[in-house]
């Protein structure tokens, strides 16, 4: 199938790089977003998100004249839905002895509704947003059929998850293997033709529900593996062991690859997607549910380490380094670092945070414009995110900028010897010695 014009709905971390990649590879793309500010920013040639390499691809796309923006979808050969699917913040559901979060699919359904008036015979619609199993078939198809066209007969429908790593989106979008799940085999084939425009990785065609499940399995697998690392950090502390040393030795085993503990698991993927399995089958997803609980409670474990360093938290002045959900990205969604700061504040500490990738930080958190400003009056410096620039800090230089002589490392980023030589007492997550 040949695609002259496509519409990409949702111009966030996935939709915008995807739209840019298609346009840069010769397809006419109309980027659609419900947020007028985002559209205005992009129309000016500016970006509303930071992602390495995105500016280049975006500018190539704009220069080609093939990337334009609109508030609403227009007639096209294919439609890609890349809108967020967070979980509902307003309630938890209960069932099978569990209290669990449920997916917020309102943006997906609104995007499908927006396509209805412009959907034509022979069009392809692809859902990319991470969704609970069967969403494409049971929820999206009926909405699109409001057009009077029949899925599988008049139009083609597929699910193709994005699997790119924030921080490496532009490269991984092209290089990673891509799964296309067709509601019908013809939809799978059409999806393959569409993504072959720029994807260099292998393109695997399957059915829609398998593709949905593949996406959730990948992130759930990672979540559970981080949960065991986090649980090991608690056990190591109890037994007077350095978990980082223990993990590095265990990982010498040829079939063991333990991930890294930390202050918790964040982002809009790994900390969200496993809930979609729990929601879809609360009676079966026991291990998945437990891992979520371990990871969601890890910020509290991190808080106790700061408490150990300072004795008490009330009124204490703390510099928090990093608010992003992981190193070297500007994304603060579901960030465990922000959660730790909130917990410190609740315990009465006076926290000043510094997030170099998003200096304005988050509402409710006092943010410094520079490292110097963050540490100037601190009693304790807490490393929450191992941004490269924080890992590279010279403790001797830092000692000149701050009265603090206590430091807490949640990420095994700082060398105890160097920090102690510079006069700091260093507390490390998962170290019981």
- CB of residue 307 to ligand SAJ, shortest distance in Å: 21
Asked if 281 and 97 touch (Cβ cutoff 8 Å), the reply is no
Of 151 and 299, nearer to ligand SAJ (C-beta) is 299
The nearer residue to ligand SAJ, 133 or 166, going by C-beta atoms, is 166
Q: How far apart are CA 159 and CA 157, in angstroms?
A: 7
* Angstrom distances, CA of residue 260 to CA of 194, 229, 324, 413, 417: 37, 6, 17, 11, 21
Considering beta carbons, is residue 155 or 276 the nearer one to ligand SAJ? 276
Residue the block writes with tokens 């994304």:
331
In this chain, which residue has its C-beta nearest to ligand SAJ? 269
Q: Which residues pair with 181 in a beta bridge?
A: 159, 206
Is residue 324 a contact partner of residue 387, using CB atoms and an 8 Å limit?
Answer: yes
Cα four-point dihedral sign 352, 354, 355, 358: positive
- In the complex, the smallest distance separating the C-beta of residue 117 from ligand SAJ, rounded to whole angstroms, is 30
Residue with smaller CB distance to ligand SAJ, 278 or 313: 278
* Conformational region of residue 333, where left means phi above 0, alpha means psi within -120 to 50, and beta covers everything else: beta
Closer residue to ligand SAJ in complex, CB, 205/329: 329
Please report, as ranges, the residues that interact with ligand SAJ according to CB under 6 A.
Answer: 130, 162-166, 218-219, 222, 226, 259-260, 262, 265-267, 269-270, 325-326, 336
| Nearest distance in Å: CB 132, ligand SAJ | 14
Nearest approach, Cβ of 324 to ligand SAJ (angstroms)?
9
φ, ψ of residue 205 in degrees (nearest 5): -105, 130
In angstroms, give the least distance from the CB of 389 to ligand SAJ: 16
Regarding beta strands 98-103 and 87-95, do their DSSP bridges make them parallel or antiparallel, or are they unpaired?
Answer: antiparallel
Taking the CA of residue 354 as centre, how many other CA atoms within 13 Å lie in the half-sphere pointing to its CB?
21
For the annotated catalytic residues, the residue numbers are 215, 269
3-state secondary structure of 89: strand
In degrees, rounded to 5, the angle at the alpha carbon of residue 173 between the alpha carbons of residues 23 and 339 is 115
């Amino acid at each position: 199938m040949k695609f002259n014009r496509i519409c990409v709905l949702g111009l966030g971390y996935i939709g915008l790089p995807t739209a840019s990649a298609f346009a840069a590879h010769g397809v006419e793309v109309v980027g659609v977003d419900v947020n007028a500010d985002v559209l205005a920013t992009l129309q000016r040639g500016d970006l509303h998100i930071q992602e390495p390499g995105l500016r280049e691809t975006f500018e190539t796309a704009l220069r080609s004249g093939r990337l334009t923006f609109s508030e609403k979808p227009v007639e096209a050969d294919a439609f890609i839905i890349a809108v967020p699917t967070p979980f509902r913040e307003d309630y938890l559901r209960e069932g099978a002895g569990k209290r669990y979060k449920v997916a917020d699919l309102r943006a997906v359904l609104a995007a499908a509704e927006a396509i209805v008036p412009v959907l034509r015979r022979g069009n392809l619609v692809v859902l990319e947003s991470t969704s609970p199993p069967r969403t494409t078939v049971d929820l999206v198809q009926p909405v699109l059929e409001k057009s009077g066209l029949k899925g599988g007969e008049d139009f083609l429908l597929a699910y193709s998850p994005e699997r790119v790593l924030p921080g490496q989106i532009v490269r991984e979008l092209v290089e990673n293997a891509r799964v296309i799940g067709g509601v019908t085999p013809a939809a799978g084939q059409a999806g393959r033709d569409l993504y072959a425009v720029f994807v260099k990785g292998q393109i695997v065609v399957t059915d829609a529900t398998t593709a949905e499940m593949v996406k959730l399995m990948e992130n759930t697998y990672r979540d559970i593996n981080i949960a065991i690392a986090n649980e090991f950090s608690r056990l190591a502390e109890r037994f007077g062991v350095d978990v980082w040393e223990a993990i590095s030795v265990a990982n010498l085993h040829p079939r063991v690859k333990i991930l890294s503990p930390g202050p918790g698991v964040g982002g809009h993927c790994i900390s969200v997607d496993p809930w979609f399995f729990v929601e879809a089958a609360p009676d079966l997803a026991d291990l998945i549910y437990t891992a979520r609980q371990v990871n969601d409670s890890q910020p509290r474990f991190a808080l106790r380490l700061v408490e150990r360093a300072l004795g008490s938290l009330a009124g204490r002045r703390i510099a928090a380094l990093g608010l992003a959900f992981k190193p070297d990205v500007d994304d603060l969604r579901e960030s465990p670092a922000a959660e730790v700061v909130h917990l410190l504040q609740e315990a009465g500490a006076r926290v000043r945070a510094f997030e170099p990738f998003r200096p304005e930080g988050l509402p409710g958190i006092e943010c410094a414009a520079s490292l110097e400003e963050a540490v100037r009056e601190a009693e304790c410096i807490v490393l929450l995110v191992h941004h490269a620039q924080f890992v590279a800090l010279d403790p001797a230089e830092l000692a000149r900028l701050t009265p603090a002589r206590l430091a807490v490392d949640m990420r095994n980023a700082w060398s105890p010897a160097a920090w102690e030589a510079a006069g700091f007492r260093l507390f490390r997550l998962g170290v019981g010695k």
